Structure 1
């Protein structure tokens, strides 16, 4: 068949129209949902070839222009990515399946993120969905009991009181044992701030998205000299573009006292005083007993109301995701007058520029805290004060409070009236803290596998306060009261830059991820000196000199991650730190680490298994360092002004002297070498996940305070590098979905940590067989613990008590263990330890229809407590000091009948193992409220629910293991509401 010439023209024209038709843009609309047909607002719709796209709205719907043949990529955090080729259809309905949270979860690590399945080190993650619920005023409480190897010991019951955090136990004696804390990429200043009890109290727990804990050296060595105690990375919440949300929460709670120190009541006290027939009391002592029945511990405590309110706005303006939050906390302590008020503001911005090649993160957190510090001396005074005396004397002196007198003046050997201590002291502090950083991450246009990251950060705080005690107060009648002020400024500046090269090599099924960087961080603290004034403003002592200190850390670091065939993983890290805290000859330290991992589940013989969804073996080694706890100028000679007691007299004038301070010019890094063997196992599509880690930590060049020969230094005890510690342990963690249906779900988490060895292996430069160890663990009377070779740090060092036939301790009689016939130091023995041999965490959470519930429990096993309250007050010597006053006694005096103090008796050492329910909560989802688009949720919780223990004291969980009349932790009942628009 022939084609005529004019038909050629028609054919060409048709082809042109076809080409134009294929190249024409089409408007696509659609909806992105999950497998339950629930909308996924904020899901990303991305045209791969053009590097452009959009996000879904609150209904999961989207609209964009694309061309036929374009490849669209649909993604949403926590869900698998889906790709779709644009065809003739103009409406798309996309269903995204939930990703396996165990395998696909992105984990924040030092300087970047990594897939959980690619980790070679020991890293644990706790996200906001798994935080402890209820009244949380300090961030570390969110993860208590949640992570194996992480022990969080609560502080006192004071508002904002922080916790002691230990990761895999302590590795140091005199340096810090606390982990490094990094907030949004800024290693923060954990030092105390004037005007606030706990620096972390300035961070609003409601703004936190996740905690990532780096436990072993292969994970933490990227932080070098500050990682010996592990690293906690805190990430705060951010917004999602196109998803505007308003969230308001209000939580109101009441805290109540859970118990009292077991002392005699008024009638019992009168009976003991009048019935005593020993030689300590005199007839004059019996005349001092009163007629009142005052329960001092009831008088100084109260039910404490707290309100915590937060509002946040999140979303995105075009390509500018943001989150702005404002919070207000007003927390009363159960001790009268104790109060903390905190106003916090946080702003996170995360825009992208240059076709998504440049990402910018701006994080800023500001908090202003105003505190009224109740006089905690009232806690001990309420234990010791005579219960037969009234609160008020009916007399004008000393504000009308009853006080023990010596003539017309207070008896300064006696305890002060607890109510007088509380109401005659105005201790007000305020602080401001700003933590912020700007992080620029640029993916090079000509080499997209290479990224350059610049991080500029700061942690600035200002603290100040005033203390006023009236002249009439008995506590300061000898000096005419107090009218003082204090102030402190702390500055922490950060500059970091690193290059990151990451590339997939499909031909050899490998992935390379390399990072190299530089870090500069500088800390500065300044405190002006003020004169010590009386209540009327006259000078009691002149001002000293202003205080200022500074230290700088400069670092170079690199990390290599290599993955082959998605089965074999290698990590190598090296950091070189230089610190101004050491002399130029010892300033630099190298901190390397290496780790291997084998993803056995990806081998051919396991791939596709319906039972084993993940199986990984990890092996890591590394050396990490320590410089915290060392003075900024401890390697060089320093001179300080002496106090008023050390003035030198010239005629009638007294001159303040300048005195030298002891120093060690050879101070160097304390280094901890660690090994870690780990196993990760996921079963049944990761519905059950198990991990086990065995670790060994050896600390050398231990920073310890040891005696030095007289005349060789300007001190008798010197901080120097001496000795070593060995630490071994086993961590186990199990998380499982017990029930997982549409209407009912139940999750269980259990973790256990066993300290198999924690032993000081060396403590002297020159071995001395007669050296028993360094005294630690002061009780207010004597030391009851020692650092000794062959034992755990702070092991109790006591006499072995002898008991009579009825099982009662015999006063002053102890076993002569050395057989010398004389009682001495060599008759004491090392008994137990304040730290547990094992600790456990139990977490239960679930949902039933619209109801949610859960609890967190913790347990310590093998920890012992020295009951210093019982030892100090459970004796007749305490009741009858023969100094013109009487003191109350612990009820144990009815058992022992001790006349005198028996400080070193192991009788006072008690098993303080415990099981504590930290948290119990319930929530109910009300759903949509009317037609406003607002959803509501109600919640109720109880904290410090119960404690099961053999310990006879107030609380079996006291850091350090010495119970010396602590501020008790309250039981807190809370009700709250969450509204979302």
Structure 2
């Protein structure tokens, strides 16, 4: 009964899909059924302007000047010469002349001219032609069961003449009697049928699984997509080619299930947070490993070094089977980037030009009414026990007008600071020029990129220069050498972004042209700071590698690689004496901070692949060595005599106060690599992977760790009983289990360490040398010197075990394809800090303790809803859900664990005291996700003093207009024992939807991205001008907003928690591919990013960091881009 019902549902679905295809096909995509009239060669003329003597060059020019296409072997014609006069030629005479001079025969069939060498005995010229007469051909296209296929494409080979089949699978087309018809349908093998004068033709199409032969890059090799046993998502360049972003993170956001990318800032050049399947560690990095063209280059921050226009594809390795071959570096997943290479036998020059205009997605929430602003300010000060400010008085040399002066319009200033501190529609530029060429021996690709991003703030911009060179050469038929070099230069100006919220009653300048300052400690004048402060940074990153592949025998390949990565950044800062806090305190302060990294990776491995009947074997065996050296230096100068040269003249500072510090960090990693693949009968696949890592970061007893993984896969669609269902085009089940590690600690945690620190005592600076660091406040007498860094000789690897179950299936001739994964990750032996008694002389020690679990599901649905000759429409839906849980906090007496007196829940404070406003409200709680919010519950606003006292509040907290905190334990007192969990910044799930369509030369897409069910701790909830008028007053006894009060002791509570869910129209694209000569490809497109966000969040942007805290800033930017891609 159930099987019959299922078949009925499937049949009805097929009919619905076919009907949709037919309607769109008939109305929008019927191909032109006529063909051009053909003439004899003697009736055709062509203009020849070729000045060379190469036959190949002449043929190329004739092709471009006529409708003919020449078919020949390059090898046969490479050395052929011909000499012709320029001018108009009869086509028949031209071909005869070519025949004689180059000793070739030419045969024309319609628009195709075939050229072949002739023997010395044959008489020349030898030119023949055959012109076919069109006939009307009718026919039927059916699937392998005989069921008609509506919407199938029927095309005359080598022409644009074509049509599509109707509901009954029938077609009619006018073609020549000797034409060949190419019949195609999504999910089936295209078939070529010779007309041979027939007027009726029946075509039977077979299912096509060749799309599953698509190659997917994995660690130290590549496999067919159909043969994947692990969880890997591939994102191709064509899916994101028009997105106006200078970073790979920007184009990947929302494009792969399990990949979470958070854009933390809208400032130019800002990096993003990248996670694969959640957070797995507390102390180390949660960034995935980034691999470019086979070479590991570090964490996700290194993605900024890659120009998105240079990318061919990106693979996201998510489960242990896929990432375990990278061992300790793959614990957080792996992102593999494959850059573009030249197409075989072609030379191209490509230009990609984008111009972008930015604007805010919402209006700025600023004070526009000076009267209301000053009234509320006075009210807030009075409620806090301070005298009102705006009463027409002078304070510290600054006059503060009264409310009456502002009301009658006599006050002359109402400065719109946002107009001064923000640019109006800044324009950014992104230009990429690529030259590529290849032949049988050499493949060459060179690209250069120039990117400028003008931020919304004045003096806040980012410029990036990037070039990518890739050359591969076949030294011998079995030996290929590849060289690649990627260079990225970044320049950032961070001087803007200050005080657009400044008091509008203050002018920019005094009457004498000097800056207006509201007292001696005014450190928020945006124009003064922009004009006088220096805050710039420069970076240089170089990635170079050499790769040698030696095919020893057809089944065995040896690969040896060497990679060198260099990074350097310099931060220049100068804080002037007058306008900045640091500069005033130090009488001018200059800093030059230098960071550099040298990273070497050497790898060699063997790949063996063999097929024996129904058995297929693959083995990878190799080793890897990596060494990283990081140096830092910091120069500081203070007490400047002259500020003219700023930090370009540090000797202008007081030499007795100059500071010089430096750091050195070195570690090594040696590894052994092994992977074995076995496939039986193209149905059952097995993979075993292992990696042994030895790290210099750990002690002698724990340097080495072994990370194994295994995976199995079953291609169920290859079974006869599945084929008999006529339901699945693909059905594959996958399962994997594996272990990976994390070495995310300082290289010297296992050793005793000495450090140098300056501290202030009895009126003088003292240099102390000891094992670790100093804890205290610099500049205070009597400071306690406490050394950190107690050695941890037993420190070992943090390990993550992961299990994954997945299924891939395709239906309706693969028009619907889906991938589903369920996973669980268990991370044990967390690397975290152990608190030590002061009597030990140390404060902290790194130990292995605690565990975290991540569980989740991933779903990707890809539907080709309509596929006709001229019109295509498709959709991709991605759903991702991850549940993160702290399953072990470690030993309470050693890791600072606190027990909740009410629930018995154990937790650790994450960051500073949670009692202080703006301090972290996040904790690590046993049995809860990481970073949950912990604080007080509120029950509206206290309306009377009696109500406040009854609620257990005391002192000022019991006054009317204050938050009414809930007495959780009913002890009659509101204190720290009444804190509970109040929110969770981790989303319930994330989803995205991409809709794309094309009609002839036009294409369009719209991309939605959403995050659902997460909480945001909005620290700016009550600071916004639009909220403050809603405050509690005796005349407005609201339960939504407290009264205004300066100096309030604000507690972390659920009042600050908001729903952070959002759905964003992230990208809308409209493009047109121009009809140009076939040597030139050009595409014009318009793109809108961050078009609109649907959310209940009350501030600018709900997309915040992993801790869920919103700190303000300015709204997300909407970007309008005009782009042009040209290739010739």
Asked if TM exceeds 0.5, the reply is yes
- For residue 1119 of structure 2, what is the aligned residue in structure 1? 972
Residue 802 of structure 1 contacts residue 810 of structure 1 at CA under 8 Å; is this kept in 2?
Answer: no
Q: Report what 1:637 is aligned to.
A: 752
Query: Among 287, 301, 309, which residue is 1:178 paired with?
Result: 287
Aligned twin of 1:16: none
Alignment CA distance shift 1:873-1:706 (3 Å):
farther
Structure 1 residue 484: Cα displacement: 3.5
Q: In the alignment, which residue of structure 2 is the partner of 1:799?
A: 936
Cα deviation per residue 1:837-862 (whole Å; 9 max; x = unaligned)?
A: 10001111221111111121111111
Structure 2 CA distance for partners of 1:158 and 1:820, relative to 1, 3 Å = same
For 2:851 and 2:829, the matched residues in 1 are separated by 6
Shift of the 874–289 alpha-carbon distance from structure 1 to 2, 3 Å rule, reads same
User: Which of 398, 411, 415 is residue 294 of structure 1 equivalent to?
Assistant: 415
CA distance in 2, matches of 1:781, 1:205: 37
Alpha-carbon separation, structure 1, partners of 2:737 and 2:73: 40
Q: What whole-Å deviation, never above 9, does each CA across 1:491-541 have from its counterpart, x for those lacking one?
A: 1111001111110011xx010001111000111111233232443643353
The equivalent residue for 1:52 is none
- Give the equivalent residue in structure 2 for 1:225: 328
Instruction: Give a deviation string over 1:339-372, Cα, whole Å, max 9, x none.
Output: 22222111112222322x2222222211222222
1:929-968 Cα shifts (integer Å, max 9, x gaps):
xx69433211110111111110111100011211112354
What is the aligned partner in structure 2 of residue 884 from structure 1? none
Would the alpha carbon gap of residues 304 and 810 (structure 1) be closer, same or farther in structure 2, given more than 3 Å must change? same
Q: CA deviation at 1:275?
A: 5.0
Displacement of 1:262 = 3.2
Is 1:685 matched with 2:813?
yes
Partner of 2:500: 382
1:426: how far off? 2.3
Distance 2:75 2:716 in 1: 35
Task: Tell me the SS of whatever aligns to 2:1083.
Answer: strand
Contact kept in structure 2, 1:586 and 1:667, CA below 8 Å: yes
Q: Check if 1:281 corresponds to 2:281.
A: no
Give 1:850's aligned residue.
1001
Question: Are the aligned partners of 1:375 and 1:425 in contact in 2 as well (CA < 8 Å)?
Answer: no
1:361-760 equivalences under 5 Å are: 361-376=482-497, 378=498, 381-383=499-501, 385-394=502-511, 400-405=514-519, 410-411=520-521, 416-444=524-552, 447-475=553-581, 476-506=583-613, 509-533=614-638, 534=640, 535=643, 537=650, 538-540=652-654, 541-607=657-723, 610-628=726-744, 630-643=745-758, 646-647=759-760, 654-658=766-770, 660=772, 661-663=788-790, 664-712=792-840, 714-715=842-843, 717-755=844-882, 757-760=883-886
The answer on 1:250 being equivalent to 2:353 is: yes
Distance 1:532 1:805, change over 3 A: closer
Q: Secondary structure at the match of 1:737?
A: strand
Preserved contact between residue 249 and residue 978 of structure 1 (Cα < 8 Å):
yes
Match of 1:938 in 2: 1084
Cα-Cα RMSD: 3.7
Q: Distance in 1 between matches of 2:187 and 2:566?
A: 39
Measure how far apart 1:264 and its partner are.
3.5
Q: Tell me the equivalent position of 1:883.
A: none
**Ranges in structure 2 where 5+ consecutive residues have no aligned partner:** 1-55, 61-66, 77-110, 120-185, 193-204, 394-398, 402-410, 645-649, 773-787, 901-905, 949-959, 1030-1037
Question: Judging changes above 3 Å, is the alpha-carbon distance between structure 1 residues 667 and 296 closer, same or farther for their aligned structure 2 residues?
Answer: farther
Secondary structure of the structure 2 residue equivalent to 1:225:
helix
Q: Which residue of 2 aligns with 1:4?
A: none
**Structure 2 counterpart of 1:915:** 1063
Moved more, 776-785 or 220-229: 776-785
Q: Residue 298 of structure 1: CA displacement?
A: 4.1
Whether the 8 Å CA contact 1:919–1:944 is kept in 2: the answer is yes
Matched residue SS, 1:742:
coil
Q: 1:56 aligns to what?
A: none
Q: Following TM superposition, by how much is the alpha carbon of 1:543 offset from its aligned partner in structure 2, in angstroms?
A: 2.8
Deviations 1:786-816 (A, max 9, x none): 0111111100001001215999995143111
Q: Distance in 2 between matches of 1:532 and 1:315?
A: 53
The 1:873/1:478 distance shift into structure 2, 3 A limit, reads: farther
| Alpha-carbon distance between aligned partners in 2 of 1:588 and 1:64, rounded to the nearest angstrom | 65
Q: Which deviations, in whole Å up to 9, do the C-alpha atoms of 1:5-28 show, x marking residues without a partner?
A: xxxxxxxxxxxxxxxxxxxxxx9x
Unaligned runs of 5+ in 1: 1-26, 32-36, 47-58, 68-77, 85-95, 192-197, 879-890
Alignment partner, residue 103 of structure 1? 212
Conserved 8 A contact 2:324-2:709: yes
Counterpart contact for 1:184–1:363, Cα < 8 Å: no
Q: Is the 8 A contact 1:250 1:308 kept in 2?
A: yes
97-106 or 853-862: which moved more? 97-106
Tell me by how many angstroms 1:164 deviates.
0.7
CA deviation after TM superposition for structure 1 residue 823, in Å: 2.2
1:951 aligns with 2:1069: no
Q: Is the 8 A contact 1:648 1:655 kept in 2?
A: no
SS in 1 for 2:586: coil
